[in-house]
Structure 1
Amino acid sequence: MTEAPLLAYYGDDFTGSTDVMEALSVNGVPTVLFLRRPTAAELARFPEARAVGIAGISRAKSPAWMDEHLPGIFAGLRALGAPLVHYKICSTFDSAPEIGSIGRAIDIGARVLGTRQTPVVVGAPVLRRYQAFGNLFATVGDETYRIDRHPTMSCHPVTPMTEGDLRRHLARQTDKPVALMDVLALWSEDYPARHRALLDGDAGVLLYDVLDDVTQRRTGELLWRDVTDGADSRFCVGSSGVEYALIAHWRASGAVPLPAAPRASAATASDRVMVVSGSCSPVTAGQIRWALENGFEGYTLDPAALLAPQTGEAALERAIGHCSAALEQGRSVVAFSSLGAPDKRTRALFNDDPEGFSHRLGRAQGRLLTETLRRTGVRRAVVAGGDTSGHAMNEMGAYALTTLTPIAPGSPLCTVHADDPDLDGLQIALKGGQVGQAPYFAHVRAGHA
Structure 2
Amino acid sequence: MLLGVIADDFTGASDIANTIAKGLPPHGGLRTAQFLGVPKSPAPKDVEAGVVALKSRTIPVQDAVDQSLAALYWLLDQGCQQIVFKYCSTFDSTREGNIGPVAEALAETLGAKGVVACSAFPGAGRTIYMGHLFVNDRLLNESGMQNHPLTPMTDPDIRRWLRYQTKSPVGLVVHRFVTEGAAAVRTALNDAAAHNTLVIVDATSDEDLAVIGDAISDHKLVTGGSGIALGLPANFIKKGLATGTLNRSLGTDGPEAILAGSCSGATRGQVDLHKANHPTFAIDVDKVMNGYTTADEIVTFIRENQGKAPLAYSSGTPEDVRRMQEKYGREIVAEKLDNLFAETARKLVKSGITRLVVAGGETSGAVVSALDLGALQIGSEIDPGVPVLLSGGETPIALALKSGNFGTPDFFTKALERLAAR
Residue 3 of structure 2 corresponds to residue 26 of structure 1: no
2:185·2:212 contact (CA, 8 Å) conserved in 1?
Answer: no
State the identity %. Answer: 24
Q: Partner of 1:274 in structure 2?
A: 257
**One of 360, 364, 367 as aligned partner of 2:343:** 367
CA contact (8 A) 1:359 1:391 kept: no
Question: CA 1:192–1:435 in structure 2 vs 1: closer, same or farther (change >3 Å)?
Answer: closer
Alpha-carbon distance in structure 1 between the residues aligned to 2:124 and 2:334: 26
Structure 1 CA distance for aligned equivalents of residues 344 and 186 of structure 2: 56
Relative distance call for 1:221 and 1:212 in structure 2 (3 A) is: same
Query: What's the CA shift for 1:268?
Result: 6.5
Paired with 2:40 and 2:149, the residues of 1 have a C-alpha distance of 36
1:237 maps to amino acid? T
Is 2:157 the partner of 1:165? Answer: yes
Secondary structure in 2 matching 1:415: strand
* 8 A contact 2:270–2:409 mirrored in 1: yes
Q: Which amino acid is 2:412 matched to?
A: F
User: What is residue 207 of structure 1 aligned with on the other side?
Assistant: 200
1:17 aligns with 2:13: yes
Cα distance, 1:255–1:268 mapped onto 2, change above 3 Å: closer
Matched, 1:301 2:294: no
Q: Give CA deviations for 1:402-424 in whole Å, capped at 9, x if unaligned.
A: 21221011111210235xx4xx4
What displacement does 1:247 show? 4.1
Shift of 1:108: 1.5
- Report what 1:130 is aligned to: 127
**Cα distance 1:255–1:388, how it changes in 2: closer, same or farther (>3 A)?**
same
The answer to whether the 8 A contact 1:78-1:113 is kept is no
Q: Distance in 1 between matches of 2:66 and 2:209?
A: 34
- 1:353 and 1:149 mapped to 2: Cα distance? 22
Q: CA deviation at 1:197?
A: 4.8
Task: Pick from 382, 400, 419 the counterpart of residue 429 of structure 1.
Answer: 400
When normalised by structure 1's length, the TM-score is 0.84
Partner of 1:315: 294
Measured in 2, the distance between the counterparts of 1:222 and 1:343 equals: 43
Residue 242 of structure 2 is aligned to residue 263 of structure 1? no
Are the counterparts in 2 of residues 270 and 447 from structure 1 also a CA contact under 8 Å? no
- Taking the aligned partners of 1:340 and 1:249, their CA distance within structure 2 comes to 44
Total equivalences in the alignment: 413
Among 320, 337, 351, which residue is 2:314 paired with?
337
Work out whether residues 274 and 369 of structure 1, in 8 Å CA contact, stay in contact via their aligned partners in 2.
no
Cα separation, 2, equivalents of 1:267 and 1:193: 38
Shift of 1:126: 2.1
Q: Distance in 2 between matches of 1:345 and 1:181?
A: 41
1:106 and 2:103 matched: yes
Pair 1:443-2:414 in alignment: yes
CA contact (8 A) 1:278 1:385 kept: yes
Structure 2: distance between partners of 1:264 and 1:34: 18
Query: 1:349 & 1:188 partners in 2: Cα distance?
Result: 53
**2:26 corresponds to which residue?**
none
Q: C-alpha separation between the residues in 1 aligned to 2:250 and 2:65?
A: 41
Q: d(CA) in 1 for partners of 2:168 and 2:108?
A: 12
Name the residue aligned to 1:75.
Answer: 73
SS at match of 2:263: coil
**How far apart are 1:333 and its partner, in Å?**
0.7
TM-score (norm 2): 0.90
2:270 to 277, 283, 287: 287
Shift in Å, 1:400: 2.0
1:332-373, CA deviations, whole angstroms, 9 ceiling, x for partnerless residues? 2100122443356533356x252x432332122121122123
- Partners of 2:274 and 2:412 within 8 A in 1: yes
Partners of 1:269 and 1:446 within 8 A in 2: no
Contact 2:309 2:413 in 1 (8 A): no
Structure 2 spans left out of the alignment, 5+ residues? 24-28
Q: How far does residue 446 in structure 1 lie from its aligned partner after superposition?
A: 1.5
1:279 maps to a residue whose letter is: S
Query: Aligned-pair distance for 1:18?
Result: 0.2
Is this contact kept in 2: 1:218–1:249, CA < 8 A?
no
Tell me, in whole angstroms, the C-alpha distance in 2 between the residues paired with 1:280 and 1:193.
39
Q: Deviations over 1:388-408 (max 9, x none)?
A: 101111111212212122101
**CA RMSD, 1 decimal:** 2.5
The residue that corresponds to 1:52 in the other structure is: 50
Q: Is the 8 A contact 1:358 1:388 kept in 2?
A: no
Structure-2 residue corresponding to 1:406: 381
Question: Is the contact between residue 187 and residue 214 of structure 1 (CA under 8 Å) also seen in structure 2?
Answer: no
Tell me by how many angstroms 1:180 deviates.
Answer: 1.4
